[in-house]
Amino acid sequence: MSTKAIAKNLLCICVRGGLEVWIDQEKLEPVVQAIKKKELIRIGNTVINPVDISGIFEAKDMEDRNRRKNGQYQCRYGFWHEKFDQCGHTSSKS
């Protein structure tokens, strides 16, 4: 599990250009309302144009994406493996 997820229940706002802006889940509703109204979103000193947002994701989803981006893959049993490593698992999470 990601250390960000352990510390707080964080969400990642992914913005065009690869920028990741992390927010507490409790602060999501004002962001969603600003997106619906097509208003600029201010998070700390960062201002985001809602049309540049590609999605809002949980920390686990971002961790999985980063693993895939780094060449890892998840076998059908749920274990992560390095690129080109063979899976030797025969049951789920054992």
Length of the chain as a residue count: 94
pTM of the model: 0.78
Determine contact, residues 2/49, Cβ cutoff 8 Å: no
| Span 13-60, pLDDT tens digits | 999 999 999 999 999 999 999 999 999 999 999 999 999 999 999 999
Distance of CA 70 to the CA centre of its chain: 15
For 1-94, where are the E strands, in sequence order? Answer: 10-15, 19-24, 41-43, 46-48, 53-58, 73-74, 80-81
**What integer pLDDT is reported at residue 92 of this predicted model?**
61
Rounded CA gap, 15 and 80, in Å?
27
Confirm if 10 and 60 have CB atoms less than 8 A apart.
no
